[in-house]
Amino acid sequence: MTTTHPTTTATQATDILRITGGTPLTGTAAIQGSKNIALHLYATALACDGLTVLRNAPAIIDTDVCAAILRHTGAEAHHADGEFRVTPTGQSVPEIHPRLGGRVRVTTILGAAVLARTGHVSMPRPGGDAICPRLIDRHLAAMTEAGATVTDDGHTLRAVLHPRGLWPFRADVNTPYGPSMGATVTALLLAARAPGSSLITHPSIEPEVVHTAAFLAAAGADIDWADDGLRVTGTDRPTGGVHTIPGDRIEAATWAMACAATGGRVLLDGITLVDLPTPHPCAAPG
């Protein structure tokens, strides 16, 4: 058994899946780069001033959509041969494309990156899967704490920074359901470009956050997983850099469970135990 990832267009749909069980799974499954980590790093690249190269980027529709969104903002963004390359330009457009932005979940995070770079942004509400309500109040609160005025006319969200620009802030990203992973990344992108030291309390420690923090630290921000939260001292020119996206832990876990259920033996190619979700030793809360 060898798996591949076929090219799919947004207009194609599968009406029926027929599965015949009773046979142990055997062979090799190729695990792509993590979709969720990739999407957050695409937004992170938009917040940086230098060339960003993300290796092992998954060849999925969301990658193409994010590349188009980044190009709409004025950046050069291309995905080929497993690499997602982003180069900022001097022609920044402070807008997340109103149609494309409604197709992905990271719209507000992309908006935070544009806000941090240009001082203002307009964006649609996030789209993507709709398996449950996904609130963005913690994202907008982080923007407000960082010095922005946020307005919502029911269709478009707008955020405009105070004339003095970003300022150091304290943002709580906790929710009744636990820390918000997305809002933690939004706050990270704002704090990474804000002068002085900012504090993100109750931060998520999921791999998406850990990889974003590692990338921003390599790009010039000072990031400390402290007892009271995530402390970030920003830089006015994060440099970008090179980062490898780990294997998709959700895809790998799906294969592992299917293999266990059928009594099979499958080699998962493209992921290691390090990529599977365990508490990060540097991110353990005090």
Return the pLDDT at 27: 96
* Residue 23 resides in a domain: no
How many domains are there within the chain? 1
Q: Quick check: 116 pLDDT over 70?
A: yes
pLDDT more than 90, % of the chain: 81
Return the pLDDT at 10: 43
Mean pLDDT over each residue of the chain, to the nearest integer: 91
Q: Quick check: 139 pLDDT over 70?
A: yes
Given the DSSP bridges, would you call strands 52-55 and 222-226 parallel, antiparallel or unpaired?
unpaired
* Residue 211 resides in a domain: yes
Q: Note whether 201 and 226 are within 8 A (CB).
A: no
Q: How far apart are CA 186 and CA 110, in angstroms?
A: 8
Q: Where are the alpha helices (DSSP H) in the chain?
A: 35-46, 61-72, 107-118, 137-145, 181-193, 207-218, 249-262
pLDDT more than 70, % of the chain: 89
Return the pLDDT at 15: 81
Return the pLDDT at 4: 45
Return the pLDDT at 131: 61
* Residue 255 resides in a domain: no
**Which of 131 and 260 is assigned the larger pLDDT?**
260
Specify the CATH number for the domain of residue 98.
Answer: 3.65.10.10
* Residue 47 resides in a domain: yes
**17 pLDDT tier (thresholds 50, 70, 90):** confident
* Residue 263 resides in a domain: no
Q: Note whether 142 and 187 are within 8 A (CB).
A: yes
Q: How far is CA 52 from CA 38, 41, 43, 121, 249, in A?
A: 12, 10, 11, 22, 23
**281 pLDDT tier (thresholds 50, 70, 90):** very low
Q: Note whether 146 and 170 are within 8 A (CB).
A: no
Return the pLDDT at 128: 67
**90 pLDDT tier (thresholds 50, 70, 90):** confident
Return the pLDDT at 22: 84
> Mind listing the pLDDT tens digit for each residue in 222-265?
999 999 999 999 998 999 999 999 999 999 999 999 999 999 99
Q: Quick check: 135 pLDDT over 60?
A: yes
* Residue 44 resides in a domain: yes
* Residue 74 resides in a domain: yes
**6 pLDDT tier (thresholds 50, 70, 90):** very low
Return the pLDDT at 232: 98
* Residue 282 resides in a domain: no
3-state secondary structure of 6: coil
> Mind listing the pLDDT tens digit for each residue in 32-45?
999 999 999 999 99
3-state secondary structure of 70: helix
Q: Quick check: 119 pLDDT over 80?
A: yes
- Parent domain of 166: 35-244
Q: Note whether 137 and 153 are within 8 A (CB).
A: no
**189 pLDDT tier (thresholds 50, 70, 90):** very high
